Structure 1
Amino acid sequence: MLDKIPFFIGLRYTRAKRRNHFISFISLTSMVGLTLGVAVLILVLSVMNGFDRELRQRILGMVPHATVFSQSSFQDWPEVALELEKDERIIAAVPYVKAQGMFSARGNVRGALVNGVLPEQEGRVSIIDQHMKYGSLDDLRPGEFGIVLGDLLARFLGVTVGDKVTLMVPEASITPAGVFPRMKRFTVVGMFSVGADLDGSLAVAHLQDMQTLMRLGDDIHGLRLQLTDLFDARQVVWEQLQDMPRHMRGSDWTRTHGNLFQAIQMEKRMIGLLLTIIIAVAAFNIVSTLVMVVTDKQGDIAILRTLGATPGMIMGIFIVQGVVIGLTGTAIGTGLGVLAALNVSDFVAWVEQLFDIQFLDSNVYFISYLPSELRMDDVWIIVSSALVMSFLSTLYPAWRASRIQPADALRYE
């Protein structure tokens, strides 16, 4: 029975209405601080996880995990592709021709990257066919000079499916009238939307049409690789180049989008650290609360000691009180944080629709909406950290209470 005394008295102190309302206010502040700290940390980390997921699924779903290209003629690409696909880490190797060009239509001009692809193989290395807004990649037929534009690019040019656009590439064409940039009219046969900045800077045409435009003959610029694990891209490319001719070169996504991925990871760590400090400050308030409670309850402590309570029992009383405050704040904060993380995307979309504003412009950010991904391992780490800090905050006040001598405490009672 004596083992249960600290637990029951600690709960009683937590529930009791104190004569000193300031102590009650500090106790409530500590609990609210923990609640807000835990909730905000869960929400922010979920949003950062969402950005990380979108980078992997959308941006890196459109951008090749790795590329292998030649500094000279690259006509034997079918044999090279078959050899690459023998590596179990490489899912697919498909050809491409790319060009930086300038589109013009209806008086509007916009620069973009144009990829020449084989429509029947594009789905092996890209998610573009899953995000077609109008038309299909199958509408890209050799010799017809059709083109698929990103949704934002098409809107900027003021065109839709069936309209004509003129593509100018930085290759000189010598004519009797002089030297002019190479130009070709394409017909828009489709539009895609992946919700990223690529919607405004990417277009896709048939491989043979781009070979004709760039006057490559049967050459291609390189092979795009899809890997089982994108984080192995650098190692896989380096190993494959060892068995290839010296004129072959390679690249991977870490060179084009690696900085963005690293920035998201760094921001996640720094924001997590800052918000953890907020939780630590809220937990430290428990120290102030319990110190004042110990001072306010000196008479009660002395009476318990004279009735036979040991210093360990006195210490347990205030540890229970502090842990209850921390547990309550953490539990409420976890519930609010999980609820917010699961609904923040819909809430932000509703606010954007209600006030006709857009918080994330795809012309500025790499995605156009606020993503969120709740990971339970993050939740458990946050909850565990908050509870541990709450427990540690109770040790000094509880130890101080256990050192109170009954005679000193009752001298002036």
Structure 2
Amino acid sequence: MSIIKDMPYEWWVGLRYTRAGKRSGRNRFISFISWISVAGIALGVAALIVVLSVMNGFQKEVTDRMLSVVAHIEVFDARGVLPDWRRSASEALRNPGVRAAAPFVDMQGMLVVDGTMKPALVRGVLPAEEAKVSKVAQQSTAFAALQPGSFNIVLGNALAEALGVKAGDRLTMLLPPGGAQGQAVQGGQLAGAPRSRTFTVAGTFAAGHYQFDSSLAFVSLEDAMAVQGLPAPSGLRLHLADLYAAPQVAADLQHSMSGELIMRDWSQVNAIWFAAVGSQKRMMFIIITMIVAVAAFNLVSTLVMAVRDKQADIAILRTLGASPRSIMKIFVVQGTLVGVLGTLLGVGLGVLVALNVDVIVPFIERVFGLHFLSKDIYFISEIPSQLRWADVGWSGGVSILLAFVATLYPSWSASRLHPADALRYE
């Protein structure tokens, strides 16, 4: 009771007007429009939270699948090869943010089987070391067959399907002429014929990301070095304790490791993809915020009707000494409370749905016989969701701000009402 007594009368009257529509028969239509505004704001805010959470979920899912193949940091030597990769790995592991390091060789080639040709990025690795930095090496037992001199190859499942091969089949790898030490050029053309080497398919892997499953293959590090004519690996792949600290760790390693090294973290490798996802998320936020804005600006019609209905009350308050500013505050409070109520309901509903997408979506699919995501196409069979409280805060804050802005004109109109004009027909 003390809180109500200490409350400014503008707040008290505004709160009473907000509740009056529920009790008074003559204001039922105004109350109905008010509740429509509440429902519209609630649904808009809930939709905004759910959509952003699903987009966060897809981004996290794709990032995780991408990083099952892509290293957190790649270390290269300016000379083209890393002569003493073990020493470089030891220096990298001194950094507390680095968990593991593995050498690699990358080469671009064409894989040929019975006239079918597919381009591929072929990566030479040490299976035991690669398993420390790559999830696909941990999950696929075929990597154990990548022994020095075996000339075995592990293909992405989509690449193997495109070539029509399975474990035990043989394929030919075509590489540009000139080797790793530079391609000889004569008269603007590559000198010599493409180099070739026969490999035996040891098995396949599934990263769950089509870009890698359709274009990546693994061979033994020694075999890759032999094919390329390299005396040492091309570089190191590093796995970090915190992948989001990769830019900072890369900068630290640049200063702490010896040699003329080049650092490249995963965010640089996929910068275009992350920029596109960020842009899509911002655009989706703007589009759905417009839906919230439409619902919030329904408050304008609600307050305009409320002002007309309360003309006599306004006149009496002005006669008793209320200033135009106080009258404006009353209706700002009334409209903002409606906006706050709709926002709170929307936040509650949105958070509830976002946290239970994995239950709600399968239920809808069973009831209506639908299937939103085909695993054959998207490699994801369930709609992911990741709720971020920052998104919840932004959604709620924008909704309340729009509701407040929607109250300004009707409240200003009420403040300009003259008592004599309001009481003339009473």
Range that drifts further, 163-172 or 144-153: 163-172
**TM-aligned CA deviation for residue 229 of structure 1:** 4.2
Structure 2 match to 1:205? 219
Distance 1:354 1:191, change over 3 A: farther
1:194 pairs with one of 205, 208, 217: 208
Offset, 1:360: 8.9
What is the SS of the residue equivalent to 1:124? helix
Provide the alpha-carbon RMSD of the alignment: 3.7
Pair 354,207 (structure 1): closer, same or farther in 2 beyond 3 Å: farther
Report the equivalent of 1:169: 175
Identity %: 42
1:215 counterpart (216, 224, 229): 229
Match 2:117 to one of 109, 120, 130: 109
1:225 match: secondary structure: strand
CA distance 1:191–1:60, shift in 2 (3 Å): closer
CA deviations 1:154-192 (Å, max 9, x no partner) are 22223334444433333469xxxx834312222233422
Question: Does the CA contact (< 8 Å) of 1:131 and 1:193 recur in 2?
Answer: no
Post-superposition offset of 1:24? 5.8
Question: Given the alignment, which residue of 380, 385, 388 partners 1:375?
Answer: 388
State how far apart, in whole Å, the 2-side matches of 1:58 and 1:8 are: 55
1:303 deviates by 5.7
TM-score w.r.t. the length of structure 2 is: 0.78
For 1:334, the equivalent position in structure 2 comes to 347
Task: Check whether the contact 1:69–1:223 (CA below 8 A) recurs between aligned residues.
Answer: yes
Asked whether the 8 Å contact 2:155–2:204 carries over to 1, the reply is yes
Q: How many residues align?
A: 401
Inter-CA distance 336–72: structure 2 relative to 1 (3 Å threshold): closer
Choose from 86, 90, 113 the match for 2:94: 86
Distance 1:187 1:29 in 2: 64
Q: Distance in 2 between matches of 1:63 and 1:199?
A: 12
1:29 Cα deviation after fit: 4.7
Measured after TM superposition, the shift of residue 20 of structure 1 is 8.4
- Counterpart in 1 of 2:106? 98
Equivalent in the alignment of 2:60: 53
Alignment TM-score, normalising by the size of structure 1: 0.80
Cα offset, 1:379, TM superposition: 1.1
Shifted more, 352-361 versus 255-264: the winner is 352-361
Which structure 2 residues correspond to residues 6-405 of structure 1 after superposition, within 5 A?
Answer: 6-14=14-22, 16=24, 18=26, 21=29, 26-70=33-77, 71-105=79-113, 108-132=116-140, 135-171=141-177, 179-216=193-230, 218-234=231-247, 236-237=249-250, 240-241=253-254, 244-246=258-260, 248-302=261-315, 310=322, 318-344=331-357, 370-398=383-411, 400-401=413-414, 404-405=417-418
- For residue 373 of structure 1, report the CA deviation from its aligned partner: 0.9
Partner Cα separation in structure 1 for residue 405 and residue 267 of structure 2:
42
Q: Distance in 1 between matches of 2:345 and 2:112?
A: 56
On the 8 A contact 1:148/1:204 being kept in 2, the answer is yes
- Farther-moved stretch of structure 1 (378-387 vs 236-245): 236-245
Q: Distance in 2 between matches of 1:393 and 1:358?
A: 39
Question: CA 1:357 to 1:149, structure 2 compared with 1: closer, same or farther past 3 Å?
Answer: farther
1:374-394 deviation line (CA, Å, top 9, x unaligned): 112321332233224324433
Contact 2:65–2:208 (Cα < 8 Å) also in 1:
yes
2:176 match: secondary structure:
strand
Give the CA deviation at 1:411: 1.0
Matched-pair contact (CA < 8 Å) for 1:51–1:264: no
Secondary structure in 2 matching 1:69: strand
